[in-house]
Amino acid sequence: MLNKFRLDGKVALITGGTRGIGLATAYAFGEAGAKLYLSARREEYEDAGAILTAGYDVTFYPADLKTREAACALVKRVADDAGRLDILINNAGIANGGDTPLFTEQQWRDVIATNVETVFWCSQAAIPVMREGGRGAIVNVGSMSGIVSNIPQNQVAYNSSKAAVHMMTKSLASELALDNIRVNAVAPGYIDTDMSRGGMVHPVRGPIWLEMTPMKRFGRPDEIATAILFLASEASSYVTGDILVVDGGYTTR
């Protein structure tokens, strides 16, 4: 039964794969036997160097995926090199927040382009490759913020972007089911990453976040990575269109 979690012979592309949840997922997939392609902006590669010494089959491709052309070029590069693409993890994202009256047009566009459009463009590019291979798995990294409006921070753009990712996940799952391409999402709560750590140590936000989380602790990146591994593997072969919430119980309140 545990063999169903293995990814031997599978080719996986992880966007935002050099930090936080993406890097933890890369380690999990490497341990499970996948051939890894990690993409991120060039300046984010410093944190990922150690994975090269872990004995995994990993290739780095720097890319800024906010355009259709860039996403298509990345997927084509992976497919040309590996001859296939079995798994796509859409993890790249940003978490800009701020009071709505002061939020600029550029801030809004940056959040939507990174968190929503990148997911669509990469998925769109991957679908023909997966169809040619006869199957595939796409896992999108959403957020509990796409389910509830968490407090005390104001982050309308981020919350809206993650809700869009969840609906995109369900819509793609329905569209691609007969192609044997499963599409799911994981919705993390407060996870101890560079993106969230500022809020965790904030004298106001941090205590509120902990108080509203029934497990009374923040999550670890590896706790999201194992959920992504489940959704990407044959262990979830009859699961599609699901939003798997991993939030220490935050959304139960």
Residues labelled catalytic: 158
User: How far is Cα 184 from Cα 163, in angstroms, rounded to an integer?
Assistant: 13
Which residue do the tokens 């939020």 mark?
Answer: 103
Q: Please give the torsion angle defined by the CA atoms of residues 192, 195, 196 and 202, in that order, rounded to the nearest 10 degrees.
A: 120
User: How far is Cα 138 from Cα 152, in angstroms, rounded to an integer?
Assistant: 32
Local structure of 181: helix, strand or coil: strand
Nearest-CA neighbor of 63 among 76, 52, 51?
A: 76
User: How far is Cα 112 from Cα 247, in angstroms, rounded to an integer?
Assistant: 23
Q: Are strands 243-246 and 136-141 parallel, antiparallel or unpaired?
A: unpaired
Tokens coding 247: 């939030």
User: How far is Cα 187 from Cα 85, in angstroms, rounded to an integer?
Assistant: 24
Q: Residues 6 or more apart from 182 whose CB is under 8 A from it?
A: 136, 137, 138, 173, 176, 231, 236, 237, 239, 240
Tokens coding 248: 């220490």
User: How far is Cα 223 from Cα 43, in angstroms, rounded to an integer?
Assistant: 26
Under DSSP, the state recorded for 110 is H
